[in-house]
Amino acid sequence: MKQIILKRLSMLVLVLVGVTMLTFFLSHVIPGDPARMMVGQRATEETLQEVRRQLGLDQPVWVQYFTYIQGLFAGDLGTSIRTQQPVSDDLLTFFPATLELALLAFVIAILFGVPIGILSAVKKDTAWDHAGRLFSIAGVSTPVFWSGLVGILIFYKFLDWLPSSGRLDLSVPPPLKITGLYLLDSLLTGNWAAFKNSLLHLLLPSFTLAFAQLAIVTRQVRASMLEVLGQEYIRTALANGISGPVLLFRYALRNALIPTITVVGLSFGSLLGGAVVTETIFSWPGMGKYVVDSIAFLDFPAIMGFTFVISIGYVLINLLVDLTYYALNPEMKE
Amino acid sequence: MSAEVHTSTVTRTVNPFWYTCRKNPLMLAGIVVLVIILLLSLFAPLISSYEPTKINIKDRFAPPSAEHWFGTDEVGRDIFTRILYGARLSLGVGVAVVLGAGLIGTVIGSISGYFGGRIDQIIMRLMDMILAFPSLVLAMAVAATLGPNLQNAMLAIAIIKIPVYVRLARAETLSLREKLYVKAAVTFGIKPWRIITRHIIPNAISPVIIQVTLDIGDAILLVATLGFLGLGAQPPTPEWGAMISVGWKHLLDYWWYPTFPGFALFLASCAFNLIGDGVRDILDPKANR
Q: What is the pLDDT of residue B2?
A: 46
For residue A332, name the pLDDT band (cuts at 50, 70, 90).
low
In A, minimum Cα distance to B138 occurs at A307
Residue A104 per-residue DSSP state? H
Q: What is the pLDDT of residue A1?
A: 66
Q: Is the dihedral of CA B86, B249, B144, B99 positive or negative?
A: negative
| B146/A269 Cβ within 8 A | no
Taking CB atoms and an 8 Å cutoff, what residues of chain B touch A22?
129, 133
Q: Which SS3 state, helix, strand or coil, does residue A86 take?
A: strand
Residue A334 vs residues A16, A204, A329: alpha-carbon distances, Å? 30, 46, 11
Considering only the beta carbons, identify the residue of B26, B146, B248 that sits closest to A145: B248
For the residues B35-63, what does the mean pLDDT come to?
84
Distance CA B47, CA B49 (A): 7
Most confident of A7-16, A271-280, B124-133, B222-231: B222-231
For the residues B228-257, what does the mean pLDDT come to?
87
For residue A333, name the pLDDT band (cuts at 50, 70, 90).
low
For residue B288, name the pLDDT band (cuts at 50, 70, 90).
very low
Taking CB atoms and an 8 Å cutoff, what residues of chain A touch B254?
none
Q: What is the pLDDT of residue B95?
A: 93
Peptide bond into B207 cis (omega under 30): no
In A, minimum Cα distance to B229 occurs at A292
For residue A9, name the pLDDT band (cuts at 50, 70, 90).
confident
pLDDT at A268 over 90: no
If you count residue pairs, one on A and one on B, with CB atoms under 8 Å apart, how many are there?
148
- Contact with chain A for residue B259, Cβ under 8 A: yes
For the residues A269-285, what does the mean pLDDT come to?
85
Alpha carbon of B248: minimum distance to chain A alpha carbons (Å): 7
Please indicate, yes or no, if residue B114 is contained in any of the structural domains.
yes
Distance CA B7, CA B165 (A): 43
Contacts of A93 (CB under 8 A, 6+ apart): none
Domain range enclosing B276: 28-288
pLDDT at A48 over 90: no
Alpha carbon of A286: minimum distance to chain B alpha carbons (Å): 15
Residue in A32, A20, A100 with CA at minimum distance from that of residue A62:
A20
Taking CB atoms and an 8 Å cutoff, what residues of chain A touch B24?
none
Taking CB atoms and an 8 Å cutoff, what residues of chain B touch A18?
125-126, 128-129, 132
Q: What is the pLDDT of residue B16?
A: 67
Domains, chain A: 2-73 (no CATH), 92-333 (1.10.3720.10)
Q: What is the pLDDT of residue A329?
A: 72
- Contact with chain A for residue B265, Cβ under 8 A: yes
For residue A33, name the pLDDT band (cuts at 50, 70, 90).
low
The CATH number linked to B56 is 1.10.3720.10
| A307/B141 Cβ within 8 A | yes
Please indicate, yes or no, if residue B7 is contained in any of the structural domains.
no
Q: Which SS3 state, helix, strand or coil, does residue B88 take?
A: helix
pLDDT at B147 over 60: yes
pLDDT at B11 over 70: no
Considering only the beta carbons, identify the residue of A19, A31, A276 that sits closest to B129: A19
pLDDT at A63 over 80: yes
pLDDT at A54 over 80: no
For the residues B262-284, what does the mean pLDDT come to?
86
Q: What is the pLDDT of residue B14?
A: 55
Alpha carbon of B26: minimum distance to chain A alpha carbons (Å): 8
Q: What is the pLDDT of residue A225?
A: 85
DSSP B96-157: HHHHHHHHHHHHHHHHHHHH-HHHHHHHHHHHHHHHHS-HHHHHHHHHHHH-SSHHHHHHHH
Please indicate, yes or no, if residue B69 is contained in any of the structural domains.
yes
Please indicate, yes or no, if residue B5 is contained in any of the structural domains.
no
For the residues A47-74, what does the mean pLDDT come to?
79
In B, minimum Cα distance to A12 occurs at B132
**pLDDT tens digits along B82-138:** 989 889 988 999 999 999 999 999 999 999 999 988 999 889 888 888 887 888 888
Number of domains in chain B: 1
Say if CB B244 and CB A291 are below 8 A apart: no
Residue A250 per-residue DSSP state? I
Taking CB atoms and an 8 Å cutoff, what residues of chain A touch B277?
137
Taking CB atoms and an 8 Å cutoff, what residues of chain B touch A281?
248
| A310/B244 Cβ within 8 A | no
**pLDDT tens digits along A115-129:** 888 888 888 778 888
| B141/A18 Cβ within 8 A | no
Distance CA A240, CA A282 (A): 54
Q: What is the pLDDT of residue B3?
A: 46
In percent, the amount of chain B with pLDDT more than 70 equals 91
**pLDDT tens digits along A179-237:** 888 888 888 888 888 888 889 999 999 999 998 888 888 888 888 888 888 888 888 88
Q: What is the pLDDT of residue A331?
A: 67
Considering only the beta carbons, identify the residue of A18, A143, A269 that sits closest to B266: A143
| B248/A149 Cβ within 8 A | yes
Say if CB B53 and CB B89 are below 8 A apart: no
Contacts of B171-177 spanning 24+ positions with Cβ under 8 A: B171/B109, B171/B113, B172/B109, B172/B110, B172/B113, B172/B200, B172/B203, B172/B204, B172/B207, B173/B109, B173/B110, B173/B112, B173/B113, B173/B114, B173/B200, B173/B204, B174/B113, B176/B200, B176/B203, B176/B204, B177/B113, B177/B114
Taking CB atoms and an 8 Å cutoff, what residues of chain A touch B214?
none
In B, minimum Cα distance to A18 occurs at B129
For residue B1, name the pLDDT band (cuts at 50, 70, 90).
very low
Considering only the beta carbons, identify the residue of A138, A143, A295 that sits closest to B144: A295
Among A61-65, A152-156, A193-197, B215-219, whose mean pLDDT is lowest? Answer: A61-65
**pLDDT tens digits along B173-191:** 988 888 899 889 989 989 9
- Contact with chain A for residue B217, Cβ under 8 A: yes
Please indicate, yes or no, if residue B51 is contained in any of the structural domains.
yes
Contact map slice: B 2-61 vs A, CB within 8 A? 26
Residues facing A86 on adjacent strands: A79
Q: What is the pLDDT of residue A313?
A: 83
Residue A251 per-residue DSSP state? I
CA atoms within 13 A on the CB side of B149: 3
Backbone conformation region of residue A59, classed left if phi is above 0, alpha if psi is from -120 to 50, else beta: beta
| A276/B137 Cβ within 8 A | yes
For the residues B224-244, what does the mean pLDDT come to?
88
Contact map slice: B 114-133 vs A, CB within 8 A? 125-126, 128-129, 132-133
